Amino acid sequence: QKEVEQNSGPLSVPEGAIASLNCTYSDRGSQSFFWYRQYSGKSPELIMFIYSNGDKEDGRFTAQLNKASQYVSLLIRDSQPSDSATYLCAVNMEYGNKLVFGAGTILRVKS
């Protein structure tokens, strides 16, 4: 079983729609969760992090965490073509400070 799982996509949404990206993780003791955006040929850029159960909103982005279900998601409202990128979910596993990354979900926003 992979430690952090994401649907590879591509996920295609029309401009202005809500994009929903999902991630599950295996380590029940995981403490912190991160979403990165990576444009082709660029390094990952941190866009959201969440530590507590529930929702965390930042502009058009909302991160949702459910530790009981070992599930974290990222919602992007009013999706723009510039949001087209690969979104990486990363989890800080209980047994160390290192992050474990999912394989990433490719998001395509069509204008």
Partner 1 sequence: SAVISQKPSRDICQRGTSLTIQCQVDSQVTMMFWYRQQPGQSLTLIATANQGSEATYESGFVIDKFPISRPNLTFSTLTVSNMSPEDSSIYLCSVDGGAYTEAFFGQGTRLTVV
CB of 104 to partner 1, least distance (A): 5
Query: Of 68, 64, 61, 67, whose CA–CA distance to 85 is shortest?
Result: 61
Output the smallest distance, CB 35 to partner 1, in A: 12
Residue closer to partner 1, measured from CB, 91 or 109: 91
Output 18 or 46, the one with its CB closest to partner 1: 46
Q: Which residues bind partner 1 (CB under 8 A)?
A: 31-32, 34, 41-46, 49, 51, 88, 90, 92, 96-104
Residues 30/100/59/84 CA torsion (nearest 10 deg): -150
How is residue 65 written in tokens?
Answer: 């965490």
C-beta of 49 vs 71, nearer to partner 1: 49
- Least distance from C-beta 89 to partner 1, angstroms? 9
Residue 45, classed as helix, strand or coil, is strand
Closest CB to partner 1 among residues 61, 101: 101
Please state, in angstroms and rounded to a whole number, the distance separating the CA atoms of residues 38 and 46.
Answer: 9
State the minimum distance, in angstroms, from the CB of residue 47 to partner 1: 11
* Gap between the Cα atoms of 26 and 44, Å rounded: 23
